[in-house]
Structure 1
Amino acid sequence: MSTETIDLKTRLVTDFYARESVMNGAAASALHQKKRAALARFDKLGFPTIKNEEWKYSNVKELVSESYNFNAASDIELSDLEDLKIPEQDANIIYFVNGHYHAGLSRLVSSSDQLTISSLSDAIKNDPDLINSFFNELAGESGDAFTELNTAFTHDGIFIHVPENKTVEHPVILRFVSDARSQNIGSQPRNIISVGRNAHLKLAEAFRTLGTERSFTNAVTEIYVSEDAGVEYYKVQNESDKAYHVGTTQVRMLDRSQFYAGTVTLNGRFTRNNLNIVIDGERCEAYMYGLYFPDGVQHVDNHTTADHRKPNSNSNELYKGILRDRSKGVFNGKIFVRPDAQKTNAFQSCKNIVLSPDATMNTKPQLEIFADDVKCSHGTTTGQIDEEALFYMRSRGISHSEALSLLMFAFCADVVSQIKIDSIREYLENVIAEKLATK
């Protein structure tokens, strides 16, 4: 392990105990004890290296060799965000700047009878026992150093609860902005989402960077999906070329629930997306769609898990990537079918187009079945653009660059068309078309 890695780890551990020393009685709370236990696990694990099988193709040495301010204030205003071209949406818009809730930029349009929504820091102050009943119950003891680090340093984020039999008409959009205009910024937001029985919620997380300095976002989202409930969850990253992002989404589904996920990575220096779904009920439906476009020296790593623990449930997964220049992509998709999960249907596919001889795509589909009455499949393909299709389009007067862009956009359509929030889908269509047309 490098000296730089030890230095960052030491700084973080030292900072934790420095904060703890001025907490007085709050240090004895059940919530803080969870944080303390997580810090001990992080201290033991250290940052992962490529010797760790789960990080074999994703070297974080560059990420952890930097120094970040995790407590930076920001004077950001709405006018500062104009260059980011953030779309207007008819939705509940919640802004976080450097990981902290920003009331001045946020707005709520849904009534309080449809959902309870609060910054996590306020929720901890107002009802610590309630938050403790949810906090880290899904992500706890994950064995992942970055998740443990987030747990230990959790301060702010969002808490959302949708009561049973409620449908939230307007989506909830969480916008995380790193204000890296004057220094390297670190943030560790924690989000807790609880959707009650027969309730429905559309939720999106968007990550952007303001400024030219480095940023590091280490985010964890825990989503509880009760019986007969439905959740649509979208994650969109369009950060800077100096942005490092590690995000973990932990989901638990109960009987007859539906969970629908779309993860789109448009830009960022280093991105790691962990999406872990525990299907802990019968007749559940889980869908996972992903799209990524690394270029330059960017690195995108998607790790997914569909863990079937009960019978008669389905999961379906499709991830697609387009890689250029010297970029690197990683896909590791796991399907577990436990002994009690008879009559499971689980399908997984990862398809990639590599447009440069210097680009690299590493894929590792995994399927572990401990039941005998199931239908499961997994597969991955990585190749170049279809030359016959390209020739056909060029023979009809379409330029090479335009034909290439059209073919790649069509390749993406299987995923983009699955995004059910119109404003997000239209935004992505425009950004993707622009990105594909630039080279």
Structure 2
Amino acid sequence: MDLSKNTDLKQQLVADFQANESRLNGETKTPVHQTRREAMQNFEKLGFPTIKHEEWKYSNVNSLVKQAFDFNVKTEFGSEELETLAIPNLEGNILYFINGIYNPALSRIVSPENQLQILSFGQAVKENPSLLDAYFAKYANYQDDAFTALNTAFAHDGVVVNVPAGKVVEQPIILRFITDARAANAASQPRNLIVVGKNAEVKMAEAFRTIGENGSFTNIVTEIVIDENANVQYYKVQNETEKAYHIGTTQVSQKANSHFYAVTVTVNGGFVRNNLNIVLDGQNCEAFMYGLYFPNGKQHIDNHTLVDHAKPNSYSNELYKGVLQDKSTGVFNGKIFVRDGASKTNAYQSCRNVVLSDEASMNTKPQLEIYNDDVKCSHGTTTGKLNDEALFYMRSRGIPKAEAMTLLMYAFCEDVISEIKIEPIRAYLEGVIADKLAQK
């Protein structure tokens, strides 16, 4: 299928890649840059997807690719602005990226080096190239996915985290990505690599905010490699603006007896596409996925998940919930693959949505592909309105309609919110979500 007809932004990016390459000098000979070059060739061939592409039939990126973005916006963002975006009582290894570029002056790393190794992507190219050679772009699909190819081609900023075997990282790793769109339409393409060794444990979160009245475009890819018996908690929080485009791919690879736990919460964003892809590539793996989204106005939020059971005796459980208002749209596409030979797989998926407006719409597409007999798999999706009987009961007890609706919606969301195990992030989100639900 020819997807290369969208050319405006594409032509700008191809020219930017060539200009960047001319400034790299000796780095062009490294394996990392050879991967970048191959990824750009793939992006040129693929072009941006259109709604004729099955994976993008409900999410039209035409308005994105017709805009001009500056991928090198100069910013004066500093500690004063940071105070207004702080999450109360949040402690840990907190790294700030302003327009996709790591800012060490605003960041703090508190875990000892023997427990946790953190480098910016640019540092890793120079100081730990062997780690990048072993893991970078070995999991996220830059061959067939245009946005992953684009991110891989421009992989210069972001973070590389290495948790050595047997280490338990006591303090969480918080990656805070702030887009400063006060001066112009700002864009960034962070690339993260998280490598967790055997028997290691770590908690991490990615949080996204946008400031300013202009448009923004974030195209982020995070690869998470989890070795045997390791345990990873991962949280993604998005609270951006009506003019923010966010396309993110989190690619996870699990080895035997590992445990992965993810919660994705999208509070705000003009156009959001979250891809969460997990390969359970070992026996006795466990993966848990929770999602929550609240589009209003004309916001569009698309969650695509893929759980690939590649080996026997693995378990996955997935619950996504949405509350849609006004003229917003939501998309949930959840795929479960059970490979030939992956016997005794248990895989469960559920997507539930409440639509509060006749003009809002929700598109759901659960998918199961099973190539083995000895499995237990199920999926289900529901989309409807608030429970009229519960609403009537609360109003009959003297609770005003607006307050009763807010309470019912919050109760609907609570079983996902409660899964956030970094308490300051959960408390912050409880307040933000309650405020948004009260705005209906």
Letter in 2 for 1:420: K
Deviation >6 Å, runs of 4+? 1-4
Letter in 2 for 1:59: N
Distance apart, 1:108 and its partner CA:
1.1
Q: Which residue of 2 aligns with 1:277?
A: 278
Q: Which residue of 2 aligns with 1:234?
A: 235
Letter in 2 for 1:128: P
Contact 2:4 2:44 in 1 (8 A): no
Instruction: Specify every segment of 5 or more residues in structure 1 that has no aligned partner in the other structure, as ranges.
Output: none
Tell me how many residue pairs correspond in the alignment. Answer: 439
Distance apart, 1:24 and its partner CA:
2.7
Which stretch has the larger CA shift, 81-90 or 56-65?
A: 81-90
SS of aligned partner of 1:87: coil
Distance apart, 1:127 and its partner CA:
2.2
Letter in 1 for 2:79: L
Distance apart, 1:7 and its partner CA:
1.8
Q: Which residue of 2 aligns with 1:48?
A: 49
Which stretch has the larger CA shift, 255-264 or 72-81?
A: 72-81
Distance apart, 1:212 and its partner CA:
1.0
Contact 1:92 1:170 in 2 (8 A): yes
* Cα distance per residue 1:70-120 (max 9 Å; x no partner): 122322111113333533411110000000000111011111111101111
SS of aligned partner of 1:5: coil
* Cα distance per residue 1:236-293 (max 9 Å; x no partner): 0001111100000000000000000000000010000000000001011100000000
For residues 3 and 192 of structure 2, the distance between their equivalents in structure 1, rounded to whole angstroms, comes to: 32
Letter in 2 for 1:369: I
Q: How does 1:9-48 map to 2 (within 5 A)?
A: 9-48=10-49
* Cα distance per residue 1:135-169 (max 9 Å; x no partner): 10111445110000000011110111111111000
Q: Which residue of 2 aligns with 1:91?
A: 92
Which stretch has the larger CA shift, 150-159 or 84-93?
A: 84-93
Contact 1:234 1:261 in 2 (8 A): yes
Q: Which residue of 2 aligns with 1:162?
A: 163
Instruction: Specify every segment of 5 or more residues in structure 2 that has no aligned partner in the other structure, as ranges.
Output: none
Residues 1:73 and 2:74 are matched in the alignment: yes
Which stretch has the larger CA shift, 343-352 or 23-32?
A: 23-32
Contact 1:4 1:65 in 2 (8 A): no
Distance apart, 1:218 and its partner CA:
0.2
Q: Which residue of 2 aligns with 1:146?
A: 147
Letter in 2 for 1:384: K
Letter in 2 for 1:151: T
Letter in 2 for 1:183: A
Q: How does 1:397-436 map to 2 (within 5 A)?
A: 397-436=398-437
For residues 8 and 291 of structure 2, the distance between their equivalents in structure 1, rounded to whole angstroms, comes to: 35
Contact 1:84 1:210 in 2 (8 A): no
Distance apart, 1:196 and its partner CA:
0.5
Distance apart, 1:4 and its partner CA:
9.3
Contact 2:142 2:152 in 1 (8 A): no
Contact 2:288 2:317 in 1 (8 A): yes
Q: How does 1:14-413 map to 2 (within 5 A)?
A: 14-413=15-414
For residues 80 and 90 of structure 1, the distance between their equivalents in structure 2, rounded to whole angstroms, comes to: 19
Contact 2:180 2:212 in 1 (8 A): yes
Contact 2:3 2:50 in 1 (8 A): no
* Cα distance per residue 1:150-194 (max 9 Å; x no partner): 000111101111111110001000000001111010000000000
For residues 367 and 295 of structure 2, the distance between their equivalents in structure 1, rounded to whole angstroms, comes to: 23
Letter in 2 for 1:98: N
Letter in 2 for 1:72: V
For residues 361 and 173 of structure 1, the distance between their equivalents in structure 2, rounded to whole angstroms, comes to: 31
Contact 2:314 2:346 in 1 (8 A): yes
Contact 2:228 2:255 in 1 (8 A): yes
Contact 2:39 2:153 in 1 (8 A): yes
Distance apart, 1:221 and its partner CA:
0.2
For residues 25 and 208 of structure 1, the distance between their equivalents in structure 2, rounded to whole angstroms, comes to: 35
* Cα distance per residue 1:386-433 (max 9 Å; x no partner): 000000000000000000000000000110111111111111111111
For residues 392 and 279 of structure 2, the distance between their equivalents in structure 1, rounded to whole angstroms, comes to: 45
Letter in 2 for 1:332: N
Contact 1:192 1:222 in 2 (8 A): yes
For residues 193 and 131 of structure 2, the distance between their equivalents in structure 1, rounded to whole angstroms, comes to: 11
For residues 355 and 137 of structure 1, the distance between their equivalents in structure 2, rounded to whole angstroms, comes to: 42
For residues 357 and 235 of structure 1, the distance between their equivalents in structure 2, rounded to whole angstroms, comes to: 29
For residues 333 and 4 of structure 2, the distance between their equivalents in structure 1, rounded to whole angstroms, comes to: 29
For residues 85 and 170 of structure 1, the distance between their equivalents in structure 2, rounded to whole angstroms, comes to: 18
Contact 1:292 1:320 in 2 (8 A): yes
Letter in 2 for 1:199: A
For residues 283 and 68 of structure 2, the distance between their equivalents in structure 1, rounded to whole angstroms, comes to: 46
Letter in 2 for 1:371: N
Percent identical = 61
Letter in 1 for 2:255: L
* Cα distance per residue 1:31-58 (max 9 Å; x no partner): 1110010001110010000000000000
For residues 290 and 101 of structure 2, the distance between their equivalents in structure 1, rounded to whole angstroms, comes to: 29
For residues 87 and 273 of structure 1, the distance between their equivalents in structure 2, rounded to whole angstroms, comes to: 26
Distance apart, 1:3 and its partner CA:
11
Contact 2:39 2:152 in 1 (8 A): yes
Letter in 1 for 2:128: D
SS of aligned partner of 2:261: strand
Contact 1:308 1:344 in 2 (8 A): yes
For residues 269 and 135 of structure 2, the distance between their equivalents in structure 1, rounded to whole angstroms, comes to: 31
For residues 73 and 133 of structure 1, the distance between their equivalents in structure 2, rounded to whole angstroms, comes to: 34
For residues 6 and 85 of structure 2, the distance between their equivalents in structure 1, rounded to whole angstroms, comes to: 32
For residues 401 and 17 of structure 1, the distance between their equivalents in structure 2, rounded to whole angstroms, comes to: 55
| Length-normalised TM-score, structure 2 | 0.98
